[in-house]
């Protein structure tokens, strides 16, 4: 495979797009730069006083970790220094942040929706964490009152991606022309193309879900888990359970290996717990571009109307055949057959 850095790859793609101005390319480069700084902080977390919580809750009602705040500030700083981003919607802030420009240059035309550090509660135990981002056009109607545009859905994303801070650091993104993965080479300080045109297998052998919430799940999901574990001899071999507890790491594994990731509604979170703007939409865009499916149990995630900045939803994504299998259980057809056979 030809050696190519993220910057070189972005520039090469830009050449193939008629009317491209380079602004999106610069914006992606700004995000990659901030990711390198966050990566350095994450890798030194055990040696510096940046682990643990700060004793306050964010807008999500979750206890903020020191690294949450650090990552948030680093990405805001990087995006402010560029001139491409007009607004940032962060999981850590109640309202959108307008990036004031100190120059006479025109204001940027993009809005970045970002989860600065997904899975940050795992940082103390050295489990992989990451950053998830989504980029949309900052149209006048969208930004004057961010979510009043009735037709606004995840389909209007122009780019999305994530950075996984793990045993190696990877940046994975799409602009609607396939999914590409880049691995950070510490010796060069550059993200280098390592996984061009990622394709998700149509099926897999593993499922990923927090089974600690089993009795809070909808009946359809409980029946599906019985199916996965082959409790009623419905399939030749049971699936393997694989759950890290860091969404970005679980979805990354499925993107490369196949399988299905489930974060359904519960009694405690009847609408679902994951955030549509910061987690579900960008991940759904990537999954679909890689040939998979992402749904909420009824429809495609990318078709859900965006109504609030911190809207939550259910999220089921992965290999196409396995997601369709889950949807069959949502119709209760398979569930009723199993229930009849057992009870």
Q: Can you tell me which residue has the tokens 């490369």? A: 256
Domain with CATH 3.40.190.80 in the chain: 206-342
What pLDDT, in 10s, does the model give residues 101-119?
554 455 678 999 999 999 8
The neighbour count for residue 105, using CB atoms within 10 Å, is 8
* Rounded average pLDDT over 270-285: 96
Helix (H) or strand (E) holding 262: strand 260-263
Region for residue 176 given its phi and psi (left: phi exceeds 0; alpha: psi -120 to 50; beta: otherwise): left
**CA separation for the pair 319, 306 (Å, rounded):** 25
* Rounded average pLDDT over 242-266: 96
Query: Of the given ranges (123-137, 254-268, 298-312), which has the lowest mean pLDDT?
Result: 123-137
> With bands split at pLDDT 50, 70 and 90, how would you rate the model's confidence at 18?
very low
6-195: CATH class? alpha beta
Tokens of 102: 């100190």
Helices and strands in the chain, H and E counts: 9, 17
276: DSSP letter: I
Q: Report pLDDT for 109.
A: 86
The neighbour count for residue 78, using CB atoms within 10 Å, is 21
Angle at 247 (CA atoms; ends 69, 131), nearest 5 degrees: 40
Angle at 62 (CA atoms; ends 58, 68), nearest 5 degrees: 65
The neighbour count for residue 274, using CB atoms within 10 Å, is 20
CA separation (Å) from 298 to 153, 302, 304, 316?
A: 15, 12, 10, 10
Q: Can you tell me which residue has the tokens 């119709």? A: 331
Tokens of 5: 């850095």
Q: What contacts 24+ positions apart, CB below 8 Å, involve 233-238?
A: 234/338
Q: What pTM, to 2 d.p., does this model score?
A: 0.89
> With bands split at pLDDT 50, 70 and 90, how would you rate the model's confidence at 23?
confident
Q: What mean pLDDT is reported for the chain? A: 85
**CA separation for the pair 57, 63 (Å, rounded):** 4
Q: Report pLDDT for 141.
A: 41
Domain with CATH 3.30.540.10 in the chain: 6-195
- CATH ID of 206-342, from 3.30.390.10, 3.40.50.2000, 3.90.1170.50, 3.40.190.80: 3.40.190.80
Q: Can you tell me which residue has the tokens 């969208």? A: 142
């Amino acid at each position: 495979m030809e050696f190519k850095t993220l910057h070189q790859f972005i520039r090469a793609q830009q050449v193939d797009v008629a009317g491209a101005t380079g602004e999106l390319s610069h914006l992606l480069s700004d995000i990659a730069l901030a990711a390198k700084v966050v990566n350095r902080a994450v890798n030194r977390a055990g040696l510096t006083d940046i682990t643990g919580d700060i004793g306050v809750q964010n807008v999500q009602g979750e206890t903020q970790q020191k690294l949450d705040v650090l990552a948030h500030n680093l990405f805001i700083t990087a995006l402010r220094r560029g001139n491409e981003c007009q607004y940032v919607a962060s999981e850590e802030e109640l309202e959108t942040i307008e990036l004031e420009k100190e120059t006479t240059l025109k204001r940027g035309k993009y809005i970045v929706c970002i989860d600065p550090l997904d899975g940050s509660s795992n940082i103390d135990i050295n489990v992989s964490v990451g950053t998830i981002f989504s980029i949309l056009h900052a149209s006048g109607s969208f930004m004057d009152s961010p979510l009043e545009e009735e037709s606004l859905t995840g389909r209007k994303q122009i780019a999305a991606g994530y950075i996984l801070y793990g045993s190696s650091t990877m940046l994975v993104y799409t602009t609607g022309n396939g999914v590409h993965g880049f691995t950070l080479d510490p010796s060069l300080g550059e993200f280098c193309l390592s996984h061009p045109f990622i394709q998700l297998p149509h099926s897999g052998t593993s499922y990923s879900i927090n089974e600690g919430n089993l009795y809070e799940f909808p009946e359809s999901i409980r029946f599906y888990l019985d199916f996965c574990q082959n409790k009623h001899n419905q399939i030749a071999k049971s699936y393997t359970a694989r759950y890290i507890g860091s969404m970005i790491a679980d979805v990354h594994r499925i993107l490369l290996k196949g399988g299905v990731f489930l974060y359904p509604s519960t009694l405690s979170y009847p609408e679902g717990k994951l955030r549509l703007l910061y987690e579900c939409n960008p991940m759904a865009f990537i999954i679909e571009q890689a040939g998979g499916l992402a749904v909420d149990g009824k429809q495609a995630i990318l078709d859900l109307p965006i109504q609030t900045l911190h809207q939550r939803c259910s999220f089921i994504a992965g290999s196409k055949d396995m997601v369709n299998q889950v949807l069959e259980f949502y119709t209760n057809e398979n569930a009723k057959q199993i229930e009849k056979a057992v009870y």
